[in-house]
Structure 1
Amino acid sequence: MSALQKTGMSIFITASVMLISVLFLNQYQLTEQAFMSAVSSDSELKMIARDLAPMKDKTYSFNVNFNKDIEHYLQSSNKEVKSRFSLTNKDINNVLTQFSEQGIKYSTEKISGALDGSEEGKFKVQKLKDYTSWMEGREYSDLASLEEHLKNTKNNINANVINEKGYGDHKIKALKLALTRQSSFGPITENTLLWLLLTIGLGVVGALMYILPKLGLLPGIKNDHIFHSPNSGRGWIGYMVGFLLIGFYVILYWFPEYMTSWMILVDPISLVLNGNEASQWFFYGFLYTLAIGVMGIRMIIKYRHSKYQMIRTYSVIFFQVAFAFLIPEILIRLNKPSMDLKNIWPLNYTFFFDYNIENLTQTGSIGLGMLMWGIILTLIGVPIITYFYGKRWYCSWVCGCGGLAETLGDPYRQLSDKSLKAWKIERWMIHSVLVFVVVMTFGTLYTYFTGSSEIIGISTYDFRSVYGFVIGAAFAGVVGVGFYPFMGSRVWCRFGCPLAAYLGIVQRFKSRFRITTNGAQCISCGNCSTYCEMGIDVRSYAQKGQNIVRASCVGCGVCSSVCPRGVLKLENKDPKGRFGEAILIGNEGVKMKT
C-alpha cells in the first residue's frame, strides 16, 4: 500500500468516526417552537403540549434520554386514556338493563340512555352504536346471548381506544422523530455545512485517495489473499463492517429518532433539491448514491480491461444518481408525485397500495402516467426485455440494489456459497417471497376495490405489514446489505428479491440470453466460480462445455472478465439450442450427453 493510500484510508476512518460522533454532539430542548414545528393540528398540539409539559424547556444532553422521557409521558397518558375510555363490565350491564329479559330485539337507540353524558360516556355510546350496527333488529332469546355479543364488542372497542383517544405505537414513533428533529440544537445545527464537509465530504476524499492509486496496477482480479484478508475473508474487519451495516439499518428502519443529527447534516442538500428538511430516507438515499458513485469508480478502475464492465458500471451509477435520487427529489419540489421510475413491482411492493394509487390518480396526468408506466413495465416491459437480454438488463445495469452489490459489495463477492445445498435453499426462499408478494398484492387490490379488509378471516393490512417488516426491511436492508461481509454481495438478490425471481423465471424458460463456454480452453483455475456473486459453480459448466442458463444468473459478466483463457462469453442468440449439449468425462473417455 502506497503512502497516499495509507493517508486516504486514515482520512476515511477519521471521517467515519466523526460521522458516528455527530450523533452525540447536539443537545435537545422541547420548546414551544419545537411543538409547533412538529405537530400540524391545533387540537393535537394542545394535547401533546399538555402530556409532555414536564419536559418543556428542559435540556437533554443525550438523544436516548430525551426519547425515553417522551415515551414515558406519552405512555402514562395512554394509561389514563385507557382507564377513562375503555368499556367495563359495568357499562355492559347498564346497556343490558335497557332490554327486557325475554324476546329481545336489539336496537342501537336504547344504548343512548345506558351511560352518562360525560365525554367518556358519549364516546362509549358512540363506539357501541358503531360496532353493533350490524346487530340492529336482531332478535335474541335471552339476555345471556346478547351479553355474549356485547362483551366481544367491548373487547374490540377497547383494543382501539388508544389509537383513537391516545397515542398508538405508530403515532408515538412519528412524534418521537418529529420532536427530536425540531428540538435539536448545538454544533451540528449551527455549523451544518462545516460538519457535512468534515464527515461525508472528507470520507469521500479519503476513499478516492485510497482508490485512485490503483490505476497504477494491472486491471482485473489479483487473487491476492482475498480469503486471508481480515476484510474480504470473513476476518475481524469484515465482521466489524458487517455489524456496523446491520446497526445502521436497524436504526434507519426502526429507530430513526436516534439519527436526527445525520438528517440535519444533509439539510443543505435536501433544501436545494426538494425544498424540505431532510428525512431519514433522504439521508439514506444520499449516502447510498455516494457509495455507488465512489465504489463505482473503484469498480471501473479494477475492471478497466473490460469495456462491458465499464459501461455496465457507468449505467448503474447513472440510474442511481438520476432516476433513484435526483428525479424523485426534484418532483417533490415541483409538488408532483415522486417515484423512482425504474423501481418495478414486485420489488416496489408498495406500488399497488391504496395510498399510492390514490396519490397517483389524484395528481393529474403525471400521476396517471406514472401509474400506467409502472403497470406496463411490470406486465409487458419485463418479459419482453428479459426475453431479448435476460435479467441482466435490470439486475446488472439498472437496479439500485444490484448497483450497490456490484460496487460496495464487490470486495465480498467471493464469499457466496456455491454448494448444492445453498442452491436448493435459494430456490425455495426466493420463490416463496415471490408468492408472498403476489398474495399480498392481490389482498391489497381486493381491499382497494371492494372496501373489505379481510379475506377468509385474514386482515390484508396485517399481511402487508408483515411483508413490509420481514421482507421489505429486515431481509432487504438488514440482511441484504449487512450480510455482505458474511455471505457475499448478492444476498438479497439471490435469496429474497421477488423481482429477481420474476425475471429469473422468464430468463430460465424463454430468453435469448445465455453464457456460452469453450470447454476445450478451460484450465480449471476456478476464477469464474470464485467470483460469481450468485453462487453458481461456473467452472462445472465450463468443464462440460455446457451453456450457463440459470434463473439466478444476473449476467454481470465478471466470470468472463476474470477468465484468463476467454472460455466464457455472454450472448443473445436464437433461443433454440441455448442449453447446449453437455459432455461427460469419465474412465471411458469423453461422451456427449444423450
Structure 2
Amino acid sequence: MFIPIGLSISIGLFIDSNNKIKNKGLGRKIGLSLVALDLLIFLGIMQHENLQIEETVFYFAYFINTGLFTRVLVHYAIAKVFGPLIWGRGYCGWGCYTAALLEWLPIKENKTIPKKYTYIRIVVLILSLLIPFIFIKNGYDYVNRHIFSPLSSSESLPFQPYKVDQFIWFLAGNIVYYIIGIMLAIIFKKKRAFCKIWCPVALVMKLQSRISLIKIAPSGNKCIECGNCNEKCPMDIDVRNYIKNGKKILSSECILCGTCVNICPAKAIK
C-alpha cells in the first residue's frame, strides 16, 4: 500500500506545483481521492479490512492476546499515532477517505464552527472505543457470529476475527461517517465540519501534531494582514496571527492542506 499511496500523493503535489493550474489545491484533492480509493477498494472491498478506529480496537485486543501485529495496526501506528510526530495531521489533509468525499461537495461557504460543537468529538471517541470493547467483552456481534471466535482446546490462539464481520463494520462505519459528514457540511455550510465536530481520530493526533516536525510557516515575506488565510482555512485556524508574528502554525487543527499558502497574495506563507 505504501507505493500506491506515495504515488497518489506525488501526483497531487505535482499537479499543484504546476504554475499553469489556476485552481490551486485541485492536485491535493485528486491525490486525496486516489489515496481514498487505494484504501477503500483494495483494503476495504477486496481484503475486507476496516481502518476505522473501531476495528483498530478489535485488532489491538487481538495483538494483546496473540502478539500478532496486523496491517490494520500498522496503518494506525504510521498514519495516526507515530507518523503525526513528523507530518502532524497531514493524514487528514492528504489521506483521509472520509474527507476525500467531503472535499468535493459543492459548498462554497466556509463558516466558522462554534467551539462548543468541537467537544462532541470527545463523546464520539469514547463511544468508538467503548462499543467494540463491549463486543469483545461479550464475545458476540449483532449478526450472531463471534467477532473473536473461540477456537478448540487443541488450538493455541484464543480467538480469531471473521472477515465477514470486518466487512460489516467497514460498510456500516463508512456509510454512517459519510452520511454524518455530508449532513454536517450542509447544516454548518462548511465542507470540513465533520472534522471539527465529529471525527474521533482528530483527537488521537492532537498531541503529536503540536510538536510535529513539518509545519506551515512564514516564508519571510511580510504579511499584509488581508485575512484571506483565516477566511479560507478549512480548520478555523488563526493563520494570520501566526504568520504576522513570524511563527510556525502550532495549532493541532492544521491538516497541512496548503490552502493558506495558495491563497496568500503576499506569498508570506510556505
Mapping 1:497-536, distance limit 5 Å: 497-508=199-210, 510-517=211-218, 521-536=222-237
Tell whether 2:116 aligns with 1:386. Answer: no
**Structure with higher helix content:** 1
> 112, 121, 127: which one pairs with 1:417?
112
Q: 1:563: which partner in 2?
A: 264
Aligned-pair CA distance for 1:524: 1.6
- Deviation string for 1:66-116 (max 9, x for gaps)? xxxxxxxxxxxxxxxxxxxxxxxxxxxxxxxxxxxxxxxxxxxxxxxxxxx
Aligned-pair CA distance for 1:511: 1.5
Q: 1:83: which partner in 2?
A: none
Q: Which has the larger radius of gyration?
A: 1
Asked if structure 2 preserves the Cα contact closer than 8 Å seen for 1:416 and 1:534, the reply is: no
Mapping 1:147-162, distance limit 5 Å: none
Letter in 1 for 2:243: A
- What's the TM-score, normalizing by structure 2? 0.66
Asked if structure 2 preserves the Cα contact closer than 8 Å seen for 1:306 and 1:561, the reply is: no
Could you say if the C-alpha distance between residues 474 and 416 of structure 1 is closer, same or farther in structure 2, counting changes exceeding 3 Å? farther
Letter in 1 for 2:93: S
C-alpha separation in 2, matches of 1:565 and 1:399: 30
Letter in 2 for 1:491: A
Letter in 2 for 1:431: I
Letter in 1 for 2:83: I
Q: 2:92: which partner in 1?
A: 395
Asked if structure 2 preserves the Cα contact closer than 8 Å seen for 1:484 and 1:490, the reply is: yes
Could you say if the C-alpha distance between residues 512 and 530 of structure 1 is closer, same or farther in structure 2, counting changes exceeding 3 Å? same
Asked if structure 1 preserves the Cα contact closer than 8 Å seen for 2:35 and 2:95, the reply is: yes
Q: 2:124: which partner in 1?
A: 433
Asked if structure 2 preserves the Cα contact closer than 8 Å seen for 1:416 and 1:532, the reply is: no
CA RMSD of superposed structures (Å): 3.8
Aligned-pair CA distance for 1:328: 4.4
Number of aligned residue pairs: give it.
Answer: 221
Letter in 2 for 1:318: L
Could you say if the C-alpha distance between residues 402 and 559 of structure 1 is closer, same or farther in structure 2, counting changes exceeding 3 Å? same
C-alpha separation in 1, matches of 2:248 and 2:79: 26
Tell me the SS of whatever aligns to 2:216: strand
Tell me the SS of whatever aligns to 1:304: coil
Aligned-pair CA distance for 1:562: 0.5
Asked if structure 1 preserves the Cα contact closer than 8 Å seen for 2:98 and 2:178, the reply is: no
- Deviation string for 1:48-78 (max 9, x for gaps)? xxxxxxxxxxxxxxxxxxxxxxxxxxxxxxx
Structure 2 residues without counterparts, runs of 5 or longer: 1-11, 141-145, 147-168
Asked if structure 2 preserves the Cα contact closer than 8 Å seen for 1:388 and 1:511, the reply is: yes
Asked if structure 1 preserves the Cα contact closer than 8 Å seen for 2:49 and 2:72, the reply is: no
- What's the TM-score, normalizing by structure 1? 0.33
Asked if structure 2 preserves the Cα contact closer than 8 Å seen for 1:560 and 1:568, the reply is: yes
Could you say if the C-alpha distance between residues 353 and 504 of structure 1 is closer, same or farther in structure 2, counting changes exceeding 3 Å? same
Letter in 2 for 1:552: E
Aligned-pair CA distance for 1:402: 1.6
Asked if structure 2 preserves the Cα contact closer than 8 Å seen for 1:527 and 1:559, the reply is: yes
Asked if structure 2 preserves the Cα contact closer than 8 Å seen for 1:416 and 1:489, the reply is: no
> 94, 103, 108: which one pairs with 1:406?
103
Tell me the SS of whatever aligns to 1:556: coil
Structure 1 residue ranges (4+ consecutive) displaced by more than 6 angstroms after TM superposition: 299-303
- Deviation string for 1:1-32 (max 9, x for gaps)? xxxxxxxxxxxxxxxxxxxxxxxxxxxxxxxx
Using the aligned pairs only, state the percent identity. Answer: 23
**Structure with higher strand content:** 1
Letter in 2 for 1:425: Y
Could you say if the C-alpha distance between residues 417 and 338 of structure 1 is closer, same or farther in structure 2, counting changes exceeding 3 Å? same
Mapping 1:91-110, distance limit 5 Å: none
Q: 2:163: which partner in 1?
A: none
Letter in 2 for 1:441: P
Q: 1:443: which partner in 2?
A: 134
Letter in 2 for 1:373: R
- The structure, 1 or 2, with the larger RCO (C-alpha pairs under 8 Å, 6+ apart) is 2
Asked if structure 1 preserves the Cα contact closer than 8 Å seen for 2:230 and 2:236, the reply is: yes
Tell me the SS of whatever aligns to 1:396: helix
Tell whether 2:35 aligns with 1:312. Answer: no
Mapping 1:204-215, distance limit 5 Å: none
Aligned-pair CA distance for 1:507: 0.8
Structure 1 residues without counterparts, runs of 5 or longer: 1-295, 332-336, 362-368, 452-467, 570-594
Aligned-pair CA distance for 1:519: 7.8
